Amino acid sequence: MIDFGFSFSPSSRINLDKADKEKFLSLAALEPDVLKCMACGSCSASCTAGAFEDTSVRKAILSLQNGLSDDAVKLLNHCMLCGKCTMVCPRGINTRHLILSIQKIYGK
């Protein structure tokens, strides 16, 4: 076999049938705003901490919906709770309260 200098990377496919949705449903019951998010990225674009650390409310919500709770908690660990994301959210989501609820439910 000829070596072309590349290899296959492992699949990043997510099996949503095996994802545990119980915690996300309890989060949605506590914070119905999590279901309003349309993943526009306004929160991530305005994030001060995002310039220095890998933090994103949008990515965290998408990770939680896909059952990747560890990734979501890591994304929110560097949040400074400044509230800029709340001010720019077109859906009016109270992201500070949402982040605190995520850390309460998913935090270890």
pLDDT tens for the 108 residues of the chain, in order: 678 887 777 777 777 777 778 889 999 999 999 999 999 999 999 999 988 988 999 999 999 998 888 989 999 999 999 999 999 999 999 999 999 999 999 876
Q: What is the pLDDT of residue 108?
A: 60
Domain ranges of the chain: 38-106
Angle at which helices 22-30 and 57-65 pack, to 10 degrees? 130
Please state, in angstroms and rounded to a whole number, the distance separating the CA atoms of residues 67 and 19. Answer: 5
Categorise residue 94: left if φ over 0, alpha if ψ from -120 to 50, beta otherwise.
Answer: beta
